[in-house]
Structure 1
Amino acid sequence: MAVGFDGHDAVVNLASALPPMSRFLFRSAWRRCEHVRTEGSATVAEACRRAGVGQLVQESVCLLYRAGGPDWVDEDTPVDRFPAARGNLAAEANATGGVVLRFGWFYGPGARHSEQLLTLARRHLVLELGPPTGYLSTIHVADAGAAVVAALTARPGTYNIVDDEPLTERAFSDALSSAAGARPWLRGPSSAALLFGDRLTSLTRSLRVRNTRFVPRPGGRPSTRAHARGWRRWLDNRRFSPAEEPALGLLTPACPALST
């Protein structure tokens, strides 16, 4: 790998292996992802050092922070060390001296999990993970891509990459239903998701994440700014046919409250 990196000014490590949402509750489903983010990131970082690469950009997630309730969370907020966070924390440690990007929930074209959520919403089923008043921080894939490019010349450090305006779980589900053009008949599992404990810790906690530290250039704000407008932006440029829609069965087994 070091031979392949030789002569390059920067390396971006976005490697991951997220399981399908139907497997989120099974710890065994995360082993491959944890392996990629621990051993894999260590291999990339060591190859960068051997090749003399000047800038390493490492992907991570903002879901590592401790629950913040209604308060703003920034890069100085302590992270939590729950089981599902081990891989990301290891990847960040391996990238010491480089740039770490803590992304919010991805949504938009190609973000498989968001496509599954949209499919559910079009069928009047809306996912809420955690109390309705808890906050969720997201990022449109186009803005995430722009942030990666900007990070190639950013100062070393850790940066949150999220929309400007985090939504509550209820506002998130309302925005999703509105974009899908389907009134929700059922929302869930809401607060009941807390019963799954640390298996859903990263998804049920309230994280109102601030993104103001990462401003790589004048006007370098996310172009979408808010999740509610992001769904609309996506759907204005995409129309699902029945054959294109992600299978509903990929999601509902993980959420008994949503199963029919």
Structure 2
Amino acid sequence: MRHVNIFVAGATGTLGRPAVRALVAAGHRVRGLARDAQRAELIRDLGADAVVGDLFDAEAIRAAVDGSDAVLHLATRIPPLVRMWRRSAWRDNDRVRSQGASVLVGAALAAGVRTYVQESISFLYAAQGDRWIDETAPIDAVWPLASAHDAERETARFATHGGAGVILRFASFYAPYAPSTLDTIRLARRRLFGVVGRGDHYVSAIHVDDAAAAVVAALAVPGGIYNVCDDEPLTMREYVLALTRACGFPAPLRVPTPLARMLLGPVAAVLTRSQRVANGMFKATAGWAPRCRSVREGWSEIARQLGRGR
């Protein structure tokens, strides 16, 4: 892969930071968008150049993107677990995904960018029981997933003008530095992160470091939709047990499905979809493979890094 000039939105986020670090390590010239001077300094510490600006300022983003070979939309504002049930908590994230993608695609088209990479989510897929889910499986883009589908449509708009529009449908992120992981560990320590219902629905996941490596690999693949997840999705029961055993926590409680729906509202239906996501197409096309093949390995590693979660 030749070295290219890359513009990254979301450069200081959970995926953005390790992705920028990996892109710089691969020899690419990276410019990251920062909302303020403090975040700009974080980007510079990663070895990249920083541009201070507003993702929704179309004119400023056009100027920032000019001269780039690739544009990466890695920006999200996912609310904390304890606030996910509130529709208002998702407004910023929805705007970042929908309007942010529209602004970035417009800037990329104006600049003649060759490649546009969009972070998306495998939660978009409809529940499929124990069947493997590839990129041809049907989606069900209900709230709060609709904005991710909006971003994918913007990527398709980019592709219709001849560029490579790459959509990476990531599974659930986890990493020792990810806020959602730290929230999950805090809840699990207090036995508040339990097995919903029978726990037989599949959960697909990806360590954020592996996701960052996938972002680098995505620069060399043809346009299209790709699943990015580990090799061994587990059932919800297996997933929670892997976490609690790795951290030395008590056995998890079982949470009746009606109670989960009462606590989380419509988000509960999304989080309990059975999604056994397959990563074969991206592995074959990009030559990428996850270092953590399953959360059994990943949670054990994180527990060691965080002192067994205590």
- TM-score bracket for this pair, using the shorter chain length: 0.7 to 0.9
Matching residue of 1:151: 218
Describe the SS at the equivalent of 1:12.
Answer: strand
Q: For residues 16 and 110 of structure 1, do their structure 2 counterparts lie closer, same or farther at Cα, with a shift above 3 Å needed?
A: same
Amino acid of the structure 2 residue aligned with 1:11:
V
Amino acid of the structure 2 residue aligned with 1:123:
R
Contact 2:195 2:252 in 1 (8 A): no
Q: For residues 208 and 52 of structure 1, do their structure 2 counterparts lie closer, same or farther at Cα, with a shift above 3 Å needed?
A: same
Runs of 4+ in structure 1 off by over 3 angstroms are: 123-126, 189-192, 194-197
Q: Tell me how many residue pairs correspond in the alignment.
A: 241
Q: What TM-score do you get using the length of structure 1 for normalisation?
A: 0.86
Q: 2-side partners of 1:124 and 1:94: how far apart?
A: 41
Cα RMSD (Å): 1.9
Matching residue of 2:99: 39
Describe the SS at the equivalent of 2:145.
Answer: helix
2:193 pairs with 1:133: no
Q: For residues 2 and 239 of structure 1, do their structure 2 counterparts lie closer, same or farther at Cα, with a shift above 3 Å needed?
A: same
2:86 pairs with 1:18: no
Matching residue of 1:213: 281
For 1:65-95, what per-residue CA distance to the aligned partner results, in whole angstroms no more than 9, with x for missing partners?
Answer: 0110111111100111312121000000001
Deviates more, 1:158-167 or 1:81-90: 81-90
Contact 1:2 1:48 in 2 (8 A): yes
Q: What TM-score do you get using the length of structure 2 for normalisation?
A: 0.73
Contact 1:129 1:203 in 2 (8 A): no
Alignment of 1:139-178 (within 5 A): 139-178=206-245
Q: Deviation of residue 7 (structure 1)?
A: 1.5
2:151 pairs with 1:84: no
Q: 2-side partners of 1:16 and 1:40: how far apart?
A: 9
Q: 2-side partners of 1:154 and 1:71: how far apart?
A: 26
Contact 2:62 2:108 in 1 (8 A): yes
Contact 1:130 1:194 in 2 (8 A): no
Describe the SS at the equivalent of 1:99.
Answer: strand
Q: 1-side partners of 2:224 and 2:252: how far apart?
A: 44
Matching residue of 2:272: 204
Contact 1:26 1:199 in 2 (8 A): no
Contact 1:126 1:177 in 2 (8 A): no
Q: Deviation of residue 234 (structure 1)?
A: 1.9
Q: Deviation of residue 26 (structure 1)?
A: 1.1
Deviates more, 1:48-57 or 1:178-187: 178-187
Q: 1-side partners of 2:101 and 2:197: how far apart?
A: 31
Contact 2:220 2:286 in 1 (8 A): no
Gap runs ≥5 in structure 1? 243-260
Q: 2-side partners of 1:168 and 1:9: how far apart?
A: 40
Amino acid of the structure 2 residue aligned with 1:48:
A
Deviates more, 1:177-186 or 1:26-35: 177-186
Describe the SS at the equivalent of 1:139.
Answer: strand
Greater relative CO, 1 or 2 (CA 8 Å, sep 6+): 1
Q: Deviation of residue 116 (structure 1)?
A: 1.2
